[in-house]
Amino acid sequence: MPALGLVLNALGIGLFCWAVFALAVYALPFFVALNCGMIAFHGGAGVIGALLIAIAAGVLTFAVGGTTFAASRSVALRVMIATIFAVPAAIAGYNVVLALSQIAVPSLAWREAFACLGALCVGGTTWTRLTVLACGDPSVRAG
| pLDDT tens track for 4-27 | 888 888 888 888 888 888 888 888
pLDDT for 23: 81
- Tens digits of residue pLDDT in 33-60: 999 999 999 999 999 999 999 999 999 9
pTM, whole model, 2 decimals?
0.76
pLDDT for 143: 44
77: alpha, beta or left? (left if phi > 0; alpha if psi -120 to 50): alpha
Whether 80 and 65 have beta carbons less than 8 Å apart is answered as no
CA distance 32 to 26: 10
Residue 112: is its pLDDT beyond 90?
A: yes
Q: Which amino acid, 84? A: I
Residue 30: is its pLDDT beyond 70?
A: yes
